[in-house]
Structures are given as structure tokens and as C-alpha cells.
Structure 1
Amino acid sequence: MKKWDSHFQLGDTVTAEQLDFFDKHGVIVFRNFISRGKVNIFIDELKRLEQTWLEEGRDKVNGIPLKFGKDEHGNKTIQRLCFSSLYSDPLHQLLEDDRLKALTAFLGPYEGRIAENEKDGLVINNYINTPNSTFTQMGWHTDAPRDLFLGQKIMPMLNVGIHLDTCPFENGGLRVIPGTHKQGVLKLLFGKKYFIDNSDDNREVGFDLNAGDLSVHDGRLWHRVKQSPKFGEESRRRVMYVPIVTGKYKPKDENSKTPFYHRFTSKVHH
């Protein structure tokens, strides 16, 4: 298991060097995408949304279930929020950032768009390692079977993570197997046991991620979230995921049905 460093910065367009790197590996990390001040604003928004939704007794948004757990004091928390930018001006404005739109270049010939009201919208994951946490890690998976479940062709998509907590490589976090975004369909479907397999892989890499960094990985890449060896507040990792998708526009609203794959992945999904 190796740690990769990254020196990339994201401007209003992606550079040829960045395109080549992503094409080869299927993953790239950009440093200092947002300021510390912005990070704090987004954490405040996460807390506000969580409190509001808990008070309302909300259990899903636009048909997608929220994921609940408990903090170290036994209080109920939401560990996965979806469509969060539809309920927050600062988060909605974040998705208007031209630098995020520039990332669509990584989809090559496909026309990409930020899926604010498609898939699960802007997801905020709140990982914490406590005895009552339901969200401490996530097994190996790719994002491709979702398309198959929905009877669609596997389309390229980007998972863009905006990191709100500093997570050194040693503290767990995102792990990927570089280059596997180019694997054939059989490897994509059967290369590993989806979500069940949490074991280390000698091909996998991770990064030191700092609050404010941005990571991008191809949805067809094998990836996982490794459990933190720490407990409680020290293990907390909050990451916002912006889906950049291709293909037919499929917006969701409050009448949308819960996709049936959520029954299988309720324990494990990002």
C-alpha cells in the first residue's frame, strides 16, 4: 500500500499534464481548492442541515435514504446527507464554481455536467469511528453497477470529493487502485467482492488529504474508504461528493422512488 503525493492546483481549465495523469491513473488530487474559511462555512452548513433534518424527522431526500448513526455521546447523527446543495445557498454557490465545471474535461469526448439534482446530488459523508457509528469504512467497489441496476449502459462519471477534515494517509481514508478505470466489464463486476472486501491490496494508493483539498476519481476505478485507526473526534472525516455525470438528464424530486439498489447498499454506500 503506497502513499502518493500531489502538487496539482486546479485553475479555470485543466492542463495537459493533469489530463494525462488522470487518463493514466483514473485519480487526481488538487491541493487547496477551498480556503479554511470556506471549509468552516461548509461545516456549519452541514451541522445546520443535520439539525434541521433530525428535528423534522426526515429519513430520505428525493427518494434517497439518509444514513444515521450515533456520536460518542450516544446522540443520533446523520452520517450521509444527500442533495444538500438544494437546501443551502453556500453549497449551491459552490457548485457554480467554474473550476468544478472545468473538471468535465476529464470525461474526454463525453459531455459532462454537475448532477445537483440527479443521482444523490451533493452528498456529504460524515465518517467517525465510534462504537455506535454505522459509517466507519466502506469496502472495495466501483460506481458502475448502479448503471447496470438501472438497466443502463455503464457510463463514465467522476466522483469529486471536497475534503473538510485533514486526513493523513495513516489515518485511513480514500484508497484507489490506479488504472483500473480501464478494466473490462468482467473485472469491473467480479474483480472484488463488492463492499464486503475491506482487505489491503498491494496495488492500492492513498494520499495525505488536507481540509480544502479536492480529489477526483473515475467511477469505474476500484476504490474504498479505509477505517481510521483512531476513535471519536480524531477519526472524523467529512467529505462532500459532487457527482459529475454523462448521459441522459434524470432529475429527482420529492416524489422520486427509492432505487432498489439502496436496499443492498444501505450499510455501505457513498
Structure 2
Amino acid sequence: MYRFLLSPKWIAGLLGFLLAAATMVWLGNWQLDRMHQKRAANAAITAAVEADPVPAGEVMPSNASEAVPSDEQWRKVTVTGTYLPEQMVLVRQRSFPDGVGLEIVVPMAADDGATYLISRGYVLSSGGADELPDLPQTPTGEVTVTGWVRPAVAVDSAAAEVSQIGGIDSVRRLDSQTVQDEMGQPISSGYVQATSESGDPAAIERVPLPELDDGPHLSYAIQWFLFAAITLIGFGYVARREAIDRLLADDEGWDETPTEVAEGPDLVSQGSAKGR
């Protein structure tokens, strides 16, 4: 009944369906892996946020040429020093909960002798990409900042290129090495995403934590697994229909012979009746 499946055409079709289903299963497992990675990252962020802050110098490399260790990202740290507002860098085209704007990054000459990049917060864009909105005043004097350690490495070198917005340096992606080269002095790798500053700083919107959820990965994985199952079931359905069609065709060919044989005796009988 299913011998036709051994034909080259059907074998090729089966292999194609199996390849498609295997690809979909792989994509489903990939989405599950991403979900587990997201959960691990969320757990690390939660643990870091709830931990007591430590001095930034204990976890952040003192030179931009060194990468921030992955297990130190999102660590809560403190930095005490003086801001260098003339070295401010604006990170443009950043998305925030209430719109697109500029992230305000200001170097700080710290009491421990290092220079750290501090992301103080953000302002929303008020016009075109080259239009500078009103920026909050940078605190003067000694300031203590508390925040989270974040890496600052631009994979695309073009995104780290420095341009000017209203006379202030700006980049599309913050890169410690690029800022260090612009400043002409060593700075710490990564940056501190500030949550608070001592004294009485001007009102500023802080960059929030990322959403700590699993994202859509589980639903995507289920969809890919369903697609794989539908693909295999679809091949089974097509093969079953082909088998039924072949069987019906064989049955119709078999019924024709008995009909002709059945008509034969009638003709013979009619001939005998005429001869009487």
C-alpha cells in the first residue's frame, strides 16, 4: 500500500520534510536557550541590585583597554569625586520608556585616582538629530555617585565615532577606548549607570533597569515546535491521501472485469431464446 514511498520522488520529499522539521526543532531549542540565558541574566541583575555597594575601583578595570568582567556587570558601586563637565559625552538615538533621547555621560575624577564615566541620566530629544535639548546642570564640587557597573564596548567602530551636537561630543554607542583616546588620559573601562548622587543635583531622569522578564522566547519556542509537528503530520496526511487514491484507482480497475463477465451470460441467454 505504501510501496510508492520507496520511489526517488517520495524519498526526496520525505527528506525535505524531515529537514524542515529538524530546522524548526533547532529554532525552538535556540529560543529555549535564549530564555534560559535571559533568566540567568535577570537573576544576576536582581542579585547585584540587592547587594550592598562596593567601591568602583574594586570591580572596574582602571584602563579602558581592559574589559569589564562579565560577572561584575550590574554590580552596585559607589564613586566619589568631581565631575568633568567639559568632557561630557552624549549618547544619541537611545530609546527610553518615554521616548527617544540622549544619554548624558560625564567623566568623574575620583578620589581613588581613577577617572570613571558616569551615566547621569537622559533627556528626550526636542527636535532634529542635530538639535541640542536643554541639559540639566552638572553638580559641582565633590559628589558621591551610586549606580550599576555597565560595559562600554561598541562592536561597530563607526557607531563609536565622535561627532558634535551643539559643541558637545556625541556618539551612537559608548566605547571606553574611544572616549579615552579623545580625552588623552586613562579612564576606567565601562561606566557607572547612576541611580543617585549626593548633594542637591538638578532634576534628571535616570536610565531605568531593563525589564526583568523572560521575554517572548517561550512562546516562540512553542510555535516552532508546533510548526515542526504540523510539518510531519502534513507529510503523513499527503502520503495517506496518495495511498488511498492509489487503492481506489486499483479497485476501480478491478471492478470493470466482473461487469463485462456478468454481461456475457445475459447475451448468451438472449441468443438461446431467439434460437428457440
Q: Shorter-chain TM-score category?
A: under 0.3
Structure (1 or 2) with the larger CA radius of gyration: 2
Structure richer in helix, relative to its length: 2
Choose between structure 1 and 2 for higher RCO, CA contacts under 8 A separated by at least 6 residues. 1
